[in-house]
Amino acid sequence: MIDQWPRYEVFKQDQADGPIRNVGSVHAPDAELALMNARNVFARRPACYGLWVVPAGAILARTAEELAREEAAVSDGDGESVTYAVFSKRSQRQAMTYVDYVGQVVALSPEEALHAAVAAYNDPPGIVWWVCPEHLINRSDPADAAALGAATGKAFRMPNHYHTVFTMQKIRRGEEDGA
């Protein structure tokens, strides 16, 4: 079933003023369920203010090196101008390809959008670049922010709520009978 459902990249914003960052992906039959799956997989325990999902197939990704090797895309001129969302990875600290949302460009093709993105947003320099048509992003409703947040009142979900290790140590020391 896994390969019958398309993959959606998931972007998470921890706080209202925080970066919108790629955190991984989910499989889903459509964008609506993708958003729901994203909530279940990536929110609830950590902080979360908002979620975006984008069909993985709609994203064009290049490294800065690949872009430098390519000729700047020449548009054929008869396409339609589309607004693209631009994502960029600007730090090597995270090993995974976690990109942040940096802004928008208008272009006739995704290739052109990538080059326009580098021209517009390369300060600080991006290491990896993603673009996708803006209209394909499915965003969580800001009114849902409260429900996306961490379920902090649920200590029983956490393993450390049960003091298992502590109790086992006491039993081993003979301070408490395990029976």
Residues of this chain that interact with other proteins (CB under 8 A) are: 1-2, 5, 26-29, 32-33, 36-37, 39-41, 44, 146-147, 153-154, 156-157, 162, 167, 176, 179
50-55 and 82-89 as β-strands: parallel, antiparallel, unpaired? Answer: unpaired
Nearer Cβ to other proteins (68/143)? 143
Write the DSSP symbol of residue 173: T
Q: Other CB atoms closer than 10 Å to residue 169's CB: what's the count?
A: 12
Tell the smallest beta-carbon distance from residue 85 to other proteins (Å).
23
Find out whether 99 and 86 touch, Cβ atoms under 8 Å: no
Shortest distance in whole angstroms from residue 96 CB to other proteins:
19
The closest of 61, 68, 48 to 146, measured between CA atoms, is 48
Q: How far is the CB of 28 from other proteins (least distance, A)?
A: 7
Which C-beta is closer to other proteins: that of 72 or that of 171? 171
Closest contact distance (angstroms) between CB of 121 and other proteins is: 32
Q: How far apart are alpha carbons 12 and 84 in whole angstroms?
A: 18
